[in-house]
């Protein structure tokens, strides 16, 4: 990776810990953990929660696959990367731009081994491929498991096409454990991105008909087994206390699975169930056990947080939207974010502060419901938007627009600021 201007980060005094990010596909807020579905057993994820921290108000940076992954790996709103518009398909000839700096690239520059196992979905051209973006090693699928053709790769070599998905989670787990065990004494970053529970659903023979929640439950229980195998590998090599493990998802569940108390599901651009996802983090000796935080966070916060823990510095030649949330991961309630934006493709749909959510548009795929009307001379029953108090009503059922005009005015101000700065990027690309 070429050198880049830097912005100094506050030192944590922790010397090059290992990082594992387990990133699931379409896993719901209510599917896992100690408050998850009573029909799905997840003892290893439950253990992570009991021994670590749960972030109650954590969001993906998008409501669908590709932009969510771009946000995670670059620390930026996906609209800044040019990948905010829906998802990539096998015949697309573009992807993550070469000039973007990924978490893997930044950690590799600090002497980390970097490995990516699972679903990539950020482009198949060389400059957008995992090994072209800081990963020493790649094993997995180039995109979602419902796309065709569907080859399984090791680096740039096709191993199998079409891939046998019944053993995919098992093989991902084997590769992840092997990556850990190859050089356990050298700092590493492992990005384990499961292809499921994105549909179509598959589970290996050992997990078939095992859960009480049908095939979906079988898939989740196999992912939980995978988490257990990763944790056991850390313990075998006595690096458990030097490894931060994070378990989360790219967006909410689709037509199966549970959003828990959150409104709506995958693809919903403005509601909590579209981008509100589980987030559990464990690091013995560094993160206190059994705590939770209500601070608002987003997956792009991992970029500055992990770099800070590694003693690295942030790129100074670009906007990094993520914030260092290390104090939040230790159970702190104070978010470094004053507010966060929700998007559908390239348009802002909602603004979230710690207490309030201001919703101006609701999408599902191509459907649009606009609550604001004044900008276009239109009239809408809910103009200028819906205001939800997420401390009082986390399910977003009742609006307080009438009761809180001052809050609405502040949210509109933030909305217009975001439109000037972020939606402008999309217009410039056209």
Give catalytic residue positions: 65, 121
Helix (H, G, I), strand (E, B) or coil at 276: strand
Other beta carbons within 10 Å of 5: 10
* Dist CA 307 CA 244 (whole Å): 12
For residue 178, the Cα-to-chain-centroid distance in whole angstroms is 24
- List Cα–Cα distances, 422 to 19, 84, 296, 346, 389, in angstroms: 30, 11, 20, 8, 25
Angle at 401 between CA 365 and CA 294, to 5 degrees: 75
* Dist CA 325 CA 281 (whole Å): 12
Helix (H, G, I), strand (E, B) or coil at 241: helix
For residue 306, the Cα-to-chain-centroid distance in whole angstroms is 14
Is residue 336 a contact partner of residue 325, using CB atoms and an 8 Å limit?
A: yes
Tokens at residue 318, please? Answer: 């670009």
* Dist CA 97 CA 126 (whole Å): 10
* Dist CA 363 CA 269 (whole Å): 6
- List Cα–Cα distances, 252 to 214, 298, 418, in angstroms: 19, 14, 24
């Amino acid at each position: 990776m070429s050198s880049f201007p830097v912005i100094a980060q506050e030192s944590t005094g922790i010397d090059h810990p290992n990082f594992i990010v387990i990133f699931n596909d379409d896993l719901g807020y209510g599917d896992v953990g100690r408050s998850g579905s009573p029909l799905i057993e997840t003892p290893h994820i439950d253990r992570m929660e009991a021994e670590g921290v749960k972030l109650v108000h954590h969001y993906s940076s998008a409501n669908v696959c590709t932009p969510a992954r771009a946000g995670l790996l670059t620390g930026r709103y996906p609209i800044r990367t040019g990948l905010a518009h829906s998802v990539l398909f096998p015949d697309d000839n573009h992807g993550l731009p070469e000039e973007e700096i990924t978490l893997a690239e930044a950690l590799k520059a600090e002497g980390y081994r970097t490995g990516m196992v699972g679903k990539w979905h950020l482009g198949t051209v060389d400059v957008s491929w995992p090994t072209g973006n800081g990963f020493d090693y790649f094993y997995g699928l180039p995109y979602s498991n419902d796309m065709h053709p569907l080859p399984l790769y090791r680096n740039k070599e096709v191993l199998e096409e079409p891939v046998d998905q019944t053993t995919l989670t098992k093989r991902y787990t084997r590769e992840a454990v092997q990556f850990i065990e190859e050089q356990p004494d050298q700092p590493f970053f492992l990005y384990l991105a499961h292809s499921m529970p994105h549909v179509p659903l598959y589970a290996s023979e050992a997990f078939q008909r095992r859960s009480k929640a049908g095939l979906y439950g079988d898939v989740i229980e196999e992912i939980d087994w995978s988490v257990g195998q990763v944790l056991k590998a850390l313990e075998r090599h006595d690096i458990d206390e030097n490894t931060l493990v994070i378990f989360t998802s790219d967006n909410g569940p689709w037509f199966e699975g549970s959003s828990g108390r959150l409104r709506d599901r995958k693809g919903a651009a403005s509601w909590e169930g579209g981008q509100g996802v589980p987030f559990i983090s464990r690091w013995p000796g560094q993160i206190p056990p059994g705590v939770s935080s209500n601070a608002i966070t987003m997956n792009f916060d991992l970029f500055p947080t992990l770099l800070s823990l590694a003693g690295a510095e942030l790129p100074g030649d670009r906007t990094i939207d993520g914030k260092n949330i290390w104090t939040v991961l230790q159970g702190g309630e104070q978010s470094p974010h004053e507010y966060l934006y929700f998007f559908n493709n390239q348009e802002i749909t909602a603004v979230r502060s710690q207490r309030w959510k201001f919703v101006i548009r609701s999408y599902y795929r191509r459907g649009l419901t606009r609550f604001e009307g004044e900008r276009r001379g239109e009239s809408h029953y809910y103009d200028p938007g819906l205001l939800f108090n997420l401390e009082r009503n986390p399910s977003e059922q009742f609006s307080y627009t009438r009761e809180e005009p001052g809050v609405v005015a502040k949210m509109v101000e933030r909305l217009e600021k975001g439109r000037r700065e972020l939606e402008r990027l999309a217009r410039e690309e056209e």
